Amino acid sequence: MTTLDVNGKKLETDASPDTPLLWVLRDNLNLTGTKFGCGMAQCGACTVHIDGRATRSCVLPISGLEGKKITTIENVGAEAVGKAVQEAWIAENVAQCGYCQSGQIMSATALLAGNKQPTDADIDAAMTGNICRCATYVRIRAAIKRAAAALA
């Protein structure tokens, strides 16, 4: 049994310790907002926060995660930054197919949590690991700026 601290709750799983967090979240804990896109840290669809840092959960075995705070899209809105980011995403009509957007929002929230006024270069650096095949990038950029303004 592994005990994980997910969204402020202690959750137990009997998944084998080498299982990536992504699959424990999705298949064992029924938190399906975090998505599977590539399985090799290439696309960002599986991004969650580990102790506040944007992290690809598809390559992160649960064995090393006991005692760490895990936040997923399901609860990112509980904090002011995540909430502002989600509001901005909705206001800008960012999502198209929407499949990448949980990961985009998690990356954007981590960016804004550490950088209140990101420049375009900061946004590129923080978001280039998150692929959007619908290419909603123009609106992602606009939404990050909108959220930054709302939080200022």
* 128: contact with another protein by CB under 8 A: yes
46 binds, among another protein, ligand FES, none (CB under 5 to 8 A by kind): ligand FES
**Least distance (Å) between residue 8 CB and another protein:** 10
Q: Which of 22, 61, 53, 46 is nearest to 101 (CA)?
A: 46
DSSP code at position 127: H
**Would you say 115 or 137 has its CB closer to ligand FES?**
137
Interactions with another protein, residue window 131-150 (CB under 8 A): 131-141
Three-class SS state of 71: strand
**Would you say 97 or 125 has its CB closer to ligand FES?**
97
Three-class SS state of 152: coil
* 112: contact with another protein by CB under 8 A: no
Among 93, 116, 117, 149, which residue sits at the site for another protein (rule: CB under 8 A)? Answer: 93
- And the tokens for 62? 């649960």
| Contact partners, residue 77, CB within 8 Å, separation at least 6 | 83, 86
Distance, CA of 71 to CA of 51 (rounded, Å): 8
Report whether 50 contacts 69 (CB < 8 A): yes
Looking up tokens 């690991």 gives 129
Cα 31 to the center of its chain, rounded Å: 13
**Would you say 38 or 50 has its CB closer to ligand FES?**
38
Site of interaction with ligand FES (CB under 6 A) = 36-39, 41-46, 56, 58, 95-101, 132-134, 136
Site of interaction with another protein (CB under 8 A) = 7, 15-16, 19-20, 23, 26-28, 30, 32-40, 42-43, 45, 72-75, 77-78, 83, 86-87, 89-91, 93-102, 105, 123-124, 127-141
